[in-house]
Chain A
Amino acid sequence: MKKYSVFAIAREAMRGHKGWEEQWSSPEPKKEYDVIIVGAGGHGLATAYYLATVHGITNVAVLEKGWLGGGNTGRNTTIIRSNYLYDESAGIYDHALKLWDGLSQELNYNVMYSARGVMMLAHNVHDIQVLKRHVHANRLNGIDNEWLTPEQAKEFCPPLNTSKDARYPVVGAALQRRGGTARHDAVAWGYARGASARGVHIIQNCEVTGVKRAANGAVTGVDTTRGFIGAKKVGVVAAGHSSVIMNMAGVRMPLESYPLQALVSEPIKPVVPCVVMSNTVHAYISQSDKGELVIGAGTDQYVSYSQTGGLHILQHTLDAICEMFPIFTRMKMLRSWGGIVDVTPDRSPILAKTPVPGLYVNCGWGTGGFKATPGSGHVFAHTIAKDDPHPINAPFTIERFRTGRLIDEAAAAAVAH
């Protein structure tokens, strides 16, 4: 792997940019690997990267049915924050946030992490109580979060409508300054490049069609559209399709898959300096470096794998956006799209060993997995390498739905993770 630097740019400029190499190779699959990761999204590629860099396990294949980063990694609204209520969530999301800081340097790849601040709006007394509780809980966990008056919120985000007669009056806000955004594609590409350089095989257009198990129940490999590939350890990181893959191994999951939509506007000059979220009216918005407003909507109400959702869901979100930012009422929207998100009953992820020896699962990130990408890959690699969870992901078992020891972020925030 040739290092990217200002000297590399100068060198290539001198010779017509003919020396740039492929960022990752596309080898033929081998018959057997030490570890197979199912799904080449951000979480899967990060897992492979940390398996190679932290644990020295490089005989790894990442299998992807489509193209690298073409699922939810390329479909999310790129928001990063760690201001979750419960200790377990705070632990894993802040682990990720600490890795975001410095990730571009570690990967030698610009993931454009921008700590521009995530501001969550309060519109009523209940919001104030919930958000202040979050502020205090976060501070006890060493996570920055602060309470803003409406005037301070307006100062932090000038286009916000904070007038008293607004339809959704802003009565305060919680601000996590370390929160922000990153370039989602670059995260997948950077991890893919780093993993590939250390010998990990990234195999695209290779769909897993079955999970093979020995007589004692242990995993022996996977059937794919490119034939059987053996491995004693298989990590499933398949987002909306996680329960489909797990069913192939005979494991029924506490998951349901829903469409989640997002949309972007035409590009305009910088106007939204931070991320603004409102759980109550369900809208969130930020501005990409290209100038597009990036807007996230809610999930549809029914299970679906269609990667499309109802138009009324987008309309509901835009209604809220236009009330909060009257300045945007005449904006044109360029594109909208859907992704399929796997949601657990308590809205917390599952990163764990499974009842099947050699089978590991990293799923259930629901509507907000992007922010956790580095931390998720880091602790999931540990879980696979040691056959034992990292202390950070130890609470995120499948068994919690039997024991009742939930991590109930669903009740804590209800929406918009």
Chain B
Amino acid sequence: MLLIRCPYCEEERPELEFRNAGEAHIARSANISGESDDDFEKFFFIRSNPKGIIYERWRHMHGCARFFNAVRDTVTDKFVMTYKAGEPKPSKLPKNSNEGVAK
């Protein structure tokens, strides 16, 4: 089971309290009915599914119930960092993944 740091509660909590909410930083169009079929497919179905660093959303269901973002390595399942919803995708990742983030 993963240990996940909620950036709102500022605590590392067991995975059972969380729901994974899929890939992060996929913006929904403000004019969704005007989207072309191609763009809608990209938004709704196509996923990067990386082997390595993934940017993903989690929700602290059984805690503060808020959505936040996380950076995780999908090969080791280790978290690099978590950050609040609405914050930009980090341009640089911390070198030491244990620093101030979930192990």
A positions within 8 Å CB-CB of B: 241, 243-244, 252-257, 301-306, 308, 310-312, 345, 401-404
Of B1, B16, B19, B46, the residue contacting A254 (CB under 8 A) is: B46
B positions within 8 Å CB-CB of A: 1-2, 15-16, 19-20, 22-23, 37-38, 40-42, 44-51, 54, 56, 72, 74-77
CA distance A345 to B45 in the complex (A): 7
| Closest Cβ neighbor of A307 among chain B residues | B75
Interface SS majority for chain A: loop
Inter-subunit contact B37/A402 (CB<8 Å): yes
Inter-subunit contact B45/A254 (CB<8 Å): yes
CA distance A67 to B85 in the complex (A): 42
CA distance A264 to B74 in the complex (A): 26
CA distance A154 to B72 in the complex (A): 46
Residue with the highest number of chain B CB atoms closer than 10 Å, among A244, A303, A403: A303
A102 → chain B closest CB, angstroms: 37
Give me 20 A-to-B residue pairs in the complex whose CB atoms sit less than 8 angstroms apart, sorted by A's number.
A241-B51, A244-B49, A244-B51, A252-B42, A252-B48, A253-B46, A257-B49, A301-B20, A302-B2, A302-B77, A303-B50, A303-B74, A305-B51, A306-B75, A308-B77, A310-B1, A312-B15, A345-B44, A345-B45, A401-B44
Residue with the highest number of chain A CB atoms closer than 10 Å, among B40, B54, B77: B77
Given the complex, which residues of B lie within 8 Å of A256, measured CB to CB?
22, 47, 49
CA distance A312 to B16 in the complex (A): 8
B45 → chain A closest CB, angstroms: 4
Inter-subunit contact A304/B47 (CB<8 Å): no
Given contacts A312-B1, A312-B16, A403-B37, contact A304 B77 (CB under 8 A): yes
